[in-house]
Structure 1
Amino acid sequence: MPSTPTLIFIVIFYLVSLASMLQNGFMMIVLGREWRRNRALPAADMIVASLASSRFCLHGIAILANLLASFDFCYQANLFGIFWDFSNTLVFWLTACLAIFYCVKISSFSHPVLFWLKWRISQLVPRLLLVSLIMGGLSAIISATGNIIADQMIISQGFHGNCTFGHMSLDFYRYYYLSHAVFMWLMPFFLFVVSIILLMFSLYQHVEKMRGHRPGPWDPHTQAHTMALKSLTFFFIFYILFFLALIISSTKSKSMQSFWYWAMEVTIYTGIFLNSIILVLSNPKLRKALKMKF
């Protein structure tokens, strides 16, 4: 029987995951209606809709996998884990695509490559989405291969319990998935960080320039860019916490009854939830739909 603090974190995990599924479902419905009405979506909204869909699936898979593992259906949970790797990798690459898109569109750096990208980035979005899907599929293949190897190692060591790992298979599981995490998640995370830093620096330069020309603190352009800078800062912080929590959880195998396992799960999925809130508040269509609902 889990301890009381562990039970509290279990409840928080399921509540946060369900709330995030509702939130991302709302984003999918709003942007889906927009697509049905106009038979097209702007490039940024295409990425946001794809990101909302992948996050919705990620939370759903996490809920099902944890429920199955809690009842010792670990083989079925591992199968869901493959889909989790696909969805999680897709989330990372789509988030990087969104950061790159906003960096190219909003930043004011005077460079020929950036000017060329400003004209081409909207046309490149479908290709970026395709690359993200390919990377997600590659992640699922790597995950499935690791599960097969780990299962064979467990059988060869004579461990027949549903959720029992031998020492060799446990070490393999840790180092294999750490390598997997570094390979599949570090590159989009690096692209995200570089894009957001460049964008924040560009927005900061713009705010300083506007203050020089219009000293009034209530200038609408300065206010808009200041709000954008604040939103990006919070998005940046939450996303880094999400990434670090995932890396830590990949290097440490914890029991389902462990307090730290559920604490890490809460940290990971709360980070996604907070990122989605910022995504809703920073998108005019979603913000308008949210105001109409309330």
Structure 2
Amino acid sequence: MSFFTSIFLVIFCLESLAAMLQNGFIVTVLGREWIRGQKLPAGDMIVACIATSRLGLHGVALLNGLLGSINFCCKCYLFFNIIWDFFNVLSFWHTAWLAVFYCVKISSFSHPTFFWLKWRVSRSVPRLMLGSLIICGLTVISSMVGNLMVAQMMASLNSCGNSTLTYKIEMFKNSYFMPHEKIIILSVPFLLFLTSTILLMFSLCRHLGRMQDRGLGPRDPSTQAHTVALKSLAFFFIFYVMYFLSLNIAIMEIKTFTNYWHWGWEVAIYAGISLHSTILVLNSPKLRKALQMRLRTQVPQAHKALEGPGQRAIPCSSFQC
């Protein structure tokens, strides 16, 4: 590996470990509340599902990247690729449902459809999460079956001695079929996400216009709710655009770019996912309070460790403090 590739790989590993700790914290806090018998609100349930899928996504991406960098067993590498595809599609669906949930609960549209959705969306969240899991499972299974069929076709052509046709089929699968398949699979949740975000922005513009007509300021709860929701969705939108750019680069086969800057793209893409998870933690009062309590318990322990055994902290005077 080149020097820059090694640097980006190290940054990617540290970034993935930090993201796993962050998403593990979300899963622990919300999972502990659910185990204690307290019913999770619909929004917290979606956030917990997002954190779970991203915990698996970062873990498999870290393992897959390390195995790929050392040219480990090809079969194991392909197996982890399949698992990564599952968590990747699942994360996209969960984030799309979060955007739909924000749009339905926060938007101030007066259409009867929105009133019906506001009444139904909280009750439908468990079914939506289960449906996303089933869709992702079927997607991965269909992709595996398609790849196995192509592999058997190539094996039969190789046995017949037709190496030219085998090479063309393999190039078509790697350069055209697989990238476009991923784009088509991810386009459905992205359209849900994009439509919900646009409607939320339109609702915010309408609400700000009404507030200006009434001579009121932009500090009302509805405006703040719109702004917080849009901030949390903006990072995922940036990540998705960068992900599509990386797929287009793979389709165009820009080998110089992909060889030397592949890990740079990986660092940028997964930084977007990590930032989105950070925004989710900061926007949730429950998670923010748990994080503050955790930090408060860690600081005294760090002071005790620095004092050492048998030593006592010397209180400072008011002038010294």
TM interval, short-chain normalised: 0.7 to 0.9
2: distance between equivalents of 1:203 and 1:4? 47
Q: Which structure has the greater CA radius of gyration?
A: 2
| CA distances 1:245-269 after superposition (whole Å, capped 9, x unpaired) | 45336536669x9222212222221
Normalising by the residue count of structure 2, what TM-score does the alignment of the two structures yield? 0.80
1:176 CA drift (Å): 2.0
2: distance between equivalents of 1:52 and 1:252? 33
Give 1:176's aligned residue.
177
Matches for 1:42-121 after TM superposition, within 5 Å: 42-72=41-71, 73-121=73-121
**Gap change, CA 1:6 and 1:103, over 3 Å in 2:** same
Q: Is contact 1:181–1:250 with CA below 8 Å preserved after alignment?
A: no
Matched to 1:122, the amino acid is: S
Give 1:288's aligned residue.
289
The answer to whether structure 1 residue 262 and structure 2 residue 266 are counterparts is no
Matched to 2:2, the amino acid is: S
| CA distances 1:45-102 after superposition (whole Å, capped 9, x unpaired) | 1111011000000111111112222232221010111111111111111111111111
Give 1:161's aligned residue.
none
Matches for 1:88-167 after TM superposition, within 5 Å: 88-152=88-152, 155=155, 156-157=157-158, 166-167=167-168
Aligned Cα RMSD in Å? 2.7
Normalising by the residue count of structure 1, what TM-score does the alignment of the two structures yield? 0.87
Q: Is contact 1:17–1:269 with CA below 8 Å preserved after alignment?
A: yes
Matched to 2:139, the amino acid is: S
Give 2:314's aligned residue.
none
1:37 CA drift (Å): 2.9
Give ranges in structure 2 of 5+ residues lacking alignment: 160-165, 296-321
Matched to 1:262, the amino acid is: W
The number of residues matched between the two structures is 286
2: distance between equivalents of 1:20 and 1:128? 25
Give ranges in structure 1 of 5+ residues lacking alignment: 159-164
Among all aligned residue pairs of Structure 1 and Structure 2, give the percentage whose two residues are the same amino acid.
47
Matched to 2:7, the amino acid is: I
2: distance between equivalents of 1:246 and 1:100? 26
Q: Is contact 1:242–1:272 with CA below 8 Å preserved after alignment?
A: no
Q: Is contact 1:196–1:236 with CA below 8 Å preserved after alignment?
A: no
2: distance between equivalents of 1:51 and 1:276? 9
1: distance between equivalents of 2:249 and 2:32? 37
The alignment partner of 1:258 has SS state of helix
2: distance between equivalents of 1:245 and 1:278? 24
Matched to 2:271, the amino acid is: T
- Pick which of 196-205 and 107-116 moved more: 196-205
Q: Is contact 1:203–1:225 with CA below 8 Å preserved after alignment?
A: no
1:233 CA drift (Å): 6.1
Give 2:31's aligned residue.
32
1: distance between equivalents of 2:64 and 2:85? 12
Q: Which structure has the higher relative contact order (CA within 8 Å, separation 6+)?
A: 1
Q: Is contact 1:103–1:198 with CA below 8 Å preserved after alignment?
A: yes
